[in-house]
Structure 1
Amino acid sequence: MIVHFINLEMHVCGVMETSGKIPVARGGHSVTLVGSKLIVFGGEDRSRKLLNDVHVLDLQTMTWSVVEATQTPPAPRFDHSAAVHSERYLLIFGGCSHSVFFNDLHVLDLHTMEWSQPQVQGDLVSPRAGHAGISIDEMWYIVGGGDNNNGCPETLALNMSKLVWSTLTTLKERHPLASEGLSICSAIIDGGKYLVAFGGYNGKYNNEVFVMKLKPRDLSHPKIFQSPAAAAAAASVTAAYALAKSEKLDFPQIIDLNFNGVENNVPKKDINLEINAIKEEKVVLESSIDEARAENSRLREKIDELKSNHTELSKELQSVQSQLISERSRCFKLEAQIAELQKMLESLESIENEVQILRRQKSALEQEMEVSSTQQQGSGGVWRWIAGGT
């Protein structure tokens, strides 16, 4: 088997040969990195045969090996998702056969190589395939997927230590995030953890980027920001930008207005935590605003440069067009001259034919004259003979 790799520092693609017990060609499988090893599970082969085997590629030796696991493995499937917990447990969730969609969870202990299907708690999870997953700390986040009829609008989180499902958010039907085949990754922006999702297919292919900010204090109501494909979080600061532009936020004053003369049972400690969290969010948003302004400035510079290039190209185009008009006029003149020369050649051919005819006539005339002269000479001799004889 040949493995392709990309050196991200040098931006170079390469191909590496592997050895060992190479798995069959497949698609719809999952690949998970554990240390310096890649774990491949499931998928379907070229004949669409469903698979549930496990193979390991050692990236240091580029050697394949097959895992001989015990206990009951997951049903053969493809388009599932996989994650690793504590560098020991391989988790397999969802996927489908050719007619059945799964919502089950299976765990492979990488130390004992035993499969198990643990009992999970929490929210009900709908069957799905083609979803995307990303693990952060002990949480496994699942986005999108579907069952060929409907997309899954729920964004899920599995606490891998407690095996508890929770629904972070539920979107509207036909939302781009309720798609199959989308991708997801995690990012840290100004100290905050974000999920970034892109693409997918839900009747049409999407190219939008969505960002979810994860808040440990309130995972049940995370914030989702939608943005264009080329600017992953720009639209997330639109409202904050308008608010910051009009007035500065003064959180102590807001609190005085809310609590002046009014009894409230909320502890001040919780209020202070909320204030600090909001202030931190304000700092993040202001930083995002500054980044957006800087990006706008760079875009303006690029636009000005493009305008300048457009002006120069327009002038060059006009020059080329004028040259083209001149060349066209020259071509017309040359074509007229060629037509005249062709006429002259035709007339020359007719003249040459006439000359040939005249030459033939001349030759015939000369022959006649020669014959006539010969006859005259012969006739004179006879008369001379007669006269002499007389």
Structure 2
Amino acid sequence: MGAENSNWHSELSYDQWAALSVSGLRPSARYKHASAVFDDKLYISGGSRNGRYLSDIQVLDLKTLAWSPLKLKVEKNADNSKDSLAGEILPPTSGHSMFKWGNKLLLLGGHSKNVSDSITVWFIDLESNQCGILETSGKVPLARGGQSVTLVGSRLIMFGGEDRQRRLLNDIHVLDLETMVWDVLETKQTPPAPRFDHTAAVHSERYLLIFCGCSHSIFFNDLHVLDLQTMEWSQPQIQGSTVTSRAGHSGITIDENWYIVGGGDNRSGACETLLLNMSTLVVSVLASVNGRDPLASEGLSVSSVLLDGEKILITFGGYNGTYNNEVYVMRPKPRNSPHPKIFQSPAAAAAAASVTAAYALTKSGKLDLSEAEDSDIKVVEENGSQRDLLSEINAVKEEKVVLEAALEEIKAENSSLKGKIEDTATTYADLSKELQSVQGQLVTERSRCAKLEAQIAELHNMLESLPSLEEEVKLLRNQKSALDRDMELASSVQRQKSGGVWKWIAG
């Protein structure tokens, strides 16, 4: 996709990732950076590479597809004692959060060598490029990295993370952006286990969703929901595709749909791009890549931009054995929003129950929808008021269409799962045979090792007795030398005696 085509997004296929051809000097490869979109431009902030924290701001113009660095200015009259670090305006930071607020980008959290015991909120004014610190008050939370930060109206809701002492957190803090006052949210029921490198999203301005993440030893594949009105935690079951454990993934919401990309478990990257409908909590696999693809990376970012009335997903960076600086884009297929089924008030739940009952009557043949549409049937409620059953029937019809579509998706998913199960069974059988063979070889090798160990022990004993043998050999040599001398002396005496006798006889 060339940079010369300003209408490049119209050429994208639905629900498929494509590498974006860009111009200009690309940002250095990195992961655990932060990203945000403002005025058709993608902003990339900080991150980490080879254990070194980064502090630069890079900008990709999504009209011209050209990269350029953003040169920041220190805010006038700013207290430089707070933000000076080796002459840099923004401190090098990794695992932080960044989002748009008005004409500013706000940055907070993350790990940095800049010593701070509490969360600092930085701002970048995108009209003047000035940068500085926003003063906050109230119950300011501990400094941390790998947290999630979600914008709900004019409030920032921060969950979890890992503090400077590597302690894992599962607390909830809220920052009112109009007053810049921090507060702690007290919750009920069982909260998620302490974690970091998770993702969060908000549904209907009321429900905060926390998805996956990790501790120091566990990678999670769970979903937790906090009702921001009742402040109660719950852990609903996810329907649809199996969710593998992951951390370091990234997510972005479009209407009721939550797109989740990348992540991994320190052994392999998550290859599936997931689509989680936040009303029904049904997960489906939108796209898949191979394990070494940049989209199967930890610490990548995903954002969305509105181009010509259409939302486009954009990813950047990540780490999957190598650091990446590629840009990938996806054009999500427009999706109809089903009626909410998971997050309902008690009154809505009672209404849903009556709709379900009406639907059951249609299935049993006791209620004819075609006849009911032309009637004026009224249902008298407990409070004496009446309601039109026809609206309920229409709702049942709509619900039926949604259920039928969901059923088709489930059938397709079941078919896919059956194929995977058959492949897994075949692989398991092959591996079992291979394991038996290896176990037989292992028994033989163990026997051989035992024999070798016995031989080694015997040789070791022989080596230990070698010095005494050498002494005996030396002693025997000395005795042999002495014996040789005695024999030679005896032979010499014998010769002398024999010579004297012959001499006497001759005389």
Q: Normalising to structure 1: TM-score of the pair?
A: 0.56
Tell me if 1:4 matches 2:55.
no
**Once the two structures are aligned, what percentage of the paired residues are identical?**
19
Partner letter of residue 25 of structure 1? P
For the aligned residue pairs, the C-alpha RMSD in angstroms reads: 3.7
Following superposition, the deviation at residue 75 of structure 1 comes to 1.4
Task: Mark the CA change 1:168 to 1:36 in structure 2 (over 3 Å): closer, same or farther.
Answer: farther
Instruction: Kindly indicate whether the alpha-carbon contact (under 8 Å) linking 1:153 and 1:177 is maintained by their aligned counterparts in 2.
Output: yes
Tell me if 1:258 matches 2:322.
no
2:263 alignment partner in structure 1: 200
Q: 2:185 and 2:142 mapped to 1: Cα distance?
A: 15
Tell me if 1:143 matches 2:249.
no
Residue 275 of structure 1, aligned match among 397, 401, 410: 397
Residue 108 of structure 2, aligned match among 2, 27, 41: 41
Summarize deviations over 1:87-146 as a string: whole Å, max 9, x none.
Answer: 2x2211100124311110011222222211021235532211000123344133221111
Q: How many residue pairs get matched? A: 255
1:93 alignment partner in structure 2: 159
For residues 1-390 of structure 1, what are the structure 2 equivalents within 5 Å? 2-20=56-74, 22-46=89-113, 52-87=119-154, 89-97=155-163, 98-138=165-205, 139-169=207-237, 176-188=243-255, 193-202=256-265, 203-215=267-279, 219=280, 222-229=281-288, 256-260=362-366, 272-280=394-402, 282=404
Partner letter of residue 197 of structure 2? G
Q: 1:260 and 1:232 mapped to 2: Cα distance?
A: 45
Partner letter of residue 113 of structure 1? M
SS at match of 2:288: coil
Q: 1:256 and 1:85 mapped to 2: Cα distance?
A: 41
Structure with more helix by fraction: 1
Q: 1:50 and 1:152 mapped to 2: Cα distance?
A: 28
Instruction: Kindly indicate whether the alpha-carbon contact (under 8 Å) linking 1:176 and 1:200 is maintained by their aligned counterparts in 2.
Output: no
Structure with more strand by fraction: 2
Summarize deviations over 1:265-287 as a string: whole Å, max 9, x none.
Answer: xx966565333123146579999
Task: Mark the CA change 1:123 to 1:16 in structure 2 (over 3 Å): closer, same or farther.
Answer: same
Q: 1:278 and 1:118 mapped to 2: Cα distance?
A: 39
Summarize deviations over 1:148-185 as a string: whole Å, max 9, x none.
Answer: 2112222223344554433333599xx65431101111
Following superposition, the deviation at residue 233 of structure 1 comes to 9.1
Unaligned runs of 5+ in 2: 1-54, 76-88, 290-329, 336-357, 368-380, 382-388, 410-507
Q: Normalising to structure 2: TM-score of the pair?
A: 0.44
Instruction: Kindly indicate whether the alpha-carbon contact (under 8 Å) linking 2:104 and 2:124 is maintained by their aligned counterparts in 1.
Output: yes
Task: Mark the CA change 1:283 to 1:125 in structure 2 (over 3 Å): closer, same or farther.
Answer: closer
Task: Mark the CA change 1:284 to 1:260 in structure 2 (over 3 Å): closer, same or farther.
Answer: closer
Partner letter of residue 79 of structure 1? G
Q: 1:69 and 1:257 mapped to 2: Cα distance?
A: 59
Summarize deviations over 1:210-266 as a string: whole Å, max 9, x none.
Answer: 112233xxx5xx2111344269999x9xxxxxxxxxxxxxxx9985452449xxxxx
SS at match of 2:194: coil
Task: Mark the CA change 1:35 to 1:233 in structure 2 (over 3 Å): closer, same or farther.
Answer: closer
Q: 1:155 and 1:24 mapped to 2: Cα distance?
A: 33
SS at match of 1:103: strand
2:420 alignment partner in structure 1: none
Instruction: Kindly indicate whether the alpha-carbon contact (under 8 Å) linking 2:221 and 2:243 is maintained by their aligned counterparts in 1.
Output: no
1:241 alignment partner in structure 2: none
Q: 1:232 and 1:61 mapped to 2: Cα distance?
A: 32
Task: Mark the CA change 1:271 to 1:126 in structure 2 (over 3 Å): closer, same or farther.
Answer: farther
Task: Mark the CA change 1:171 to 1:75 in structure 2 (over 3 Å): closer, same or farther.
Answer: farther
Task: Mark the CA change 1:165 to 1:20 in structure 2 (over 3 Å): closer, same or farther.
Answer: farther
Task: Mark the CA change 1:135 to 1:57 in structure 2 (over 3 Å): closer, same or farther.
Answer: farther
Task: Mark the CA change 1:48 to 1:227 in structure 2 (over 3 Å): closer, same or farther.
Answer: farther
Q: 1:253 and 1:72 mapped to 2: Cα distance?
A: 51
Instruction: Kindly indicate whether the alpha-carbon contact (under 8 Å) linking 1:44 and 1:50 is maintained by their aligned counterparts in 2.
Output: no
Bigger radius of gyration = 1
Structure with the bigger RCO (C-alpha within 8 Å, sep 6+) is: 2
Instruction: Kindly indicate whether the alpha-carbon contact (under 8 Å) linking 1:96 and 1:128 is maintained by their aligned counterparts in 2.
Output: yes
Instruction: Kindly indicate whether the alpha-carbon contact (under 8 Å) linking 2:169 and 2:195 is maintained by their aligned counterparts in 1.
Output: yes
Q: 2:134 and 2:359 mapped to 1: Cα distance?
A: 63
Instruction: Kindly indicate whether the alpha-carbon contact (under 8 Å) linking 2:136 and 2:182 is maintained by their aligned counterparts in 1.
Output: yes
Q: 1:144 and 1:281 mapped to 2: Cα distance?
A: 27
Instruction: Kindly indicate whether the alpha-carbon contact (under 8 Å) linking 2:118 and 2:141 is maintained by their aligned counterparts in 1.
Output: no
Q: 2:359 and 2:250 mapped to 1: Cα distance?
A: 43
Instruction: Kindly indicate whether the alpha-carbon contact (under 8 Å) linking 1:27 and 1:43 is maintained by their aligned counterparts in 2.
Output: yes
Instruction: Kindly indicate whether the alpha-carbon contact (under 8 Å) linking 1:182 and 1:199 is maintained by their aligned counterparts in 2.
Output: yes
Q: 1:226 and 1:187 mapped to 2: Cα distance?
A: 16
Task: Mark the CA change 1:232 to 1:135 in structure 2 (over 3 Å): closer, same or farther.
Answer: same
Instruction: Kindly indicate whether the alpha-carbon contact (under 8 Å) linking 2:239 and 2:282 is maintained by their aligned counterparts in 1.
Output: no
Task: Mark the CA change 1:101 to 1:280 in structure 2 (over 3 Å): closer, same or farther.
Answer: same
Task: Mark the CA change 1:28 to 1:256 in structure 2 (over 3 Å): closer, same or farther.
Answer: closer
